[in-house]
């Protein structure tokens, strides 16, 4: 039986550590505050935003909530971000994505002060990660490193294959695994002989957004499999990019969906908020 990597449990450990850090900061007179901005009322975004605010409450971080109508102009949004950039009582700024079509995501991300970029999406944060300098790291890949380390999975010298090349997960994930001294391959939709490539992985990370795409013929026996996908299957049931029932018997460790990578994203966001306040 494969080890089930429990993201709920590990994220709770991290949140409890952060709670202590937040209390320490408070005792020194430092309050940590995250500003969360949502534009429009996309139901999935509303759930994520609610969970982020709940996470703040649990850890003892203040949250300011800006729920703006879908018709908000780009200039209005940029104006709010600039105001929050200038506020000394705000440590972190998070603009929930996706944004309505009339707003340019890239311009919005670039307007956030990199010192408050707790999502780690600003080009300066991404650049810093790339050349090994300090800066905020995108929360989902940072959470995966914690999942591996806290489950006792050795990374150094291992073959790591990442399936997917998004700016939020695939690319920063590759940089983080490289920083941990793994040998890293990024595979994607144009990769030739995909199963042969993924079949070399000691650690396989699936982040493609295709329900149950990764079956056991993609996986080396004894590999560690991390599933970043959150999809709906043919019965509208939540599922990952990995066909769990098919892969679990051949791998040595695996994350479930839900309860694997998902809860780690918020834990790392809260970690970035505490970091932004200087601990
Ligand atoms: N939308 C989906 N995931 C994320 C995330 O991690 N951060 C933000 N800001 N928006 C998202």
Nearest CA to ligand 1 atom 2: 97
Question: Could you tell me the pTM of the whole model?
Answer: 0.96
Q: Which atom of ligand 1 is nearest to the CA of 265?
A: 6
Taking the centre of ligand 1 as the mean of its atom positions, its distance from the CA of residue 29, in whole angstroms, is: 30
Domain boundaries, the chain: 30-115, 139-262
CB of residue 94 inside a 6 A radius of ligand 1: yes
Nearest CA to ligand 1 atom 8: 96
Right CATH number for 30-115 from 3.40.710.10, 3.60.15.10, 3.40.50.10860, 2.60.40.10? Answer: 3.40.50.10860
CB of residue 139 inside a 6 A radius of ligand 1: yes
Taking the centre of ligand 1 as the mean of its atom positions, its distance from the CA of residue 127, in whole angstroms, is: 19
Q: How far apart are CA 136 and CA 253, in angstroms?
A: 28
Taking the centre of ligand 1 as the mean of its atom positions, its distance from the CA of residue 238, in whole angstroms, is: 18
Q: Checking DSSP bridges between strand 231-232 and strand 238-239, what pairing results, if any?
A: antiparallel
Catalytic residue positions, numbered? 52, 96, 119
Q: How far apart are CA 198 and CA 196, in angstroms?
A: 6
Q: Which atom of ligand 1 is nearest to the CA of 119?
A: 7
Nearest CA to ligand 1 atom 1: 97
Nearest CA to ligand 1 atom 11: 97
Which has the closest alpha carbon to 163: 215, 219, 206?
A: 206
Q: How far apart are CA 200 and CA 171, in angstroms?
A: 19
Which has the closest alpha carbon to 207: 262, 136, 133?
A: 262
Answer whether 232's CB lies under 8 Å from 239's CB.
yes
CB of residue 95 inside a 6 A radius of ligand 1: yes
Q: How far apart are CA 234 and CA 231, in angstroms?
A: 10
Say yes or no: do domains 30-115 and 139-262 share a fold.
yes
Q: Which atom of ligand 1 is nearest to the CA of 139?
A: 6
pLDDT score of 278: 78
- The dihedrals phi and psi of 141, each to the nearest 5 degrees, come to -60, -40
Burial class of residue 150 (count of CB atoms within 10 Å of its CB; 0-12, 13-18, 19+): middle
- The dihedrals phi and psi of 176, each to the nearest 5 degrees, come to -70, -40
Q: What is the CA 199 to chain-centroid distance, rounded? A: 25
Taking the centre of ligand 1 as the mean of its atom positions, its distance from the CA of residue 159, in whole angstroms, is: 28
C-alpha distances out from residue 180 to 45, 68, 262, Å: 32, 40, 22
Give the homologous superfamily in CATH for domain 139-262. NAD(P)-binding Rossmann-like Domain (3.40.50.720)
Residue with tokens 């603009």: 95
pLDDT score of 225: 99
C-alpha distances out from residue 239 to 44, 89, 131, 244, 254, Å: 16, 40, 35, 9, 14
Per-residue pLDDT of the chain (279 residues; tens, 9 = 90+): 999 999 999 999 999 999 999 999 999 999 999 999 999 999 999 999 999 999 999 999 999 999 999 999 999 999 999 999 999 999 999 999 999 999 999 999 999 999 999 999 999 999 999 999 999 999 999 999 999 999 999 999 999 999 999 999 999 999 999 999 999 999 999 999 999 999 999 999 999 999 999 999 999 999 999 999 999 999 999 999 999 999 999 999 999 999 999 999 999 999 999 999 975
| Residue 163, strand partner residues | 187, 206
CB of residue 144 inside a 6 A radius of ligand 1: no
Tokens linked to 36: 């969360």
Q: How far apart are CA 249 and CA 49, in angstroms?
A: 35
Q: Which atom of ligand 1 is nearest to the CA of 138?
A: 6
Q: Enumerate the H helices of 134-212 as residue ranges.
A: 139-150, 170-179, 194-198
């Amino acid at each position: 039986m494969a080890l089930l990597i429990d993201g709920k449990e590990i994220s709770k450990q991290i949140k409890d550590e952060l709670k202590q850090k937040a209390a320490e900061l408070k005792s020194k007179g430092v309050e940590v505050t995250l500003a969360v901005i949502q534009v429009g009322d996309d139901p999935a975004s509303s759930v994520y935003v609610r969970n982020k605010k709940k996470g703040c409450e649990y850890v003892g971080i203040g949250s300011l909530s800006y729920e703006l109508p879908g018709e908000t102009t780009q200039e209005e949004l940029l104006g709010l971000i600039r105001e929050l950039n200038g506020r000394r009582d705000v440590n972190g700024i998070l603009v929930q994505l996706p944004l309505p079509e009339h707003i340019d995501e890239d311009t919005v991300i670039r307007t956030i002060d990199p010192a408050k970029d707790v999502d780690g999406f600003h080009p300066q944060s991404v650049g810093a990660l790339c050349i090994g300098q300090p800066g905020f790291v995108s929360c989902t890949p940072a959470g995966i490193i914690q999942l591996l380390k806290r489950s006792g999975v050795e990374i150094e010298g291992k073959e790591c294959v990442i399936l997917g090349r998004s700016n939020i997960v695939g690319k920063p994930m590759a940089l983080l695994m490289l920083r941990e001294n793994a040998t890293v391959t990024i595979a994607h939709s144009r990769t030739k002989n995909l199963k042969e490539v993924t079949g070399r992985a000691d650690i396989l990370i699936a982040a493609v957004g295709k329900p149950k795409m990764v079956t056991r013929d993609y996986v080396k026996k004894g590999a560690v499999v991390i599933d970043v996908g959150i999809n709906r299957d043919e019965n509208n049931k939540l599922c990952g990019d990995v066909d769990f029932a098919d892969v679990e018997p051949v791998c040595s460790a695996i994350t479930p969906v839900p309860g694997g990578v998902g809860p780690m994203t918020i834990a790392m966001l809260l970690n970035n908020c505490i970091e932004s306040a200087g601990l």
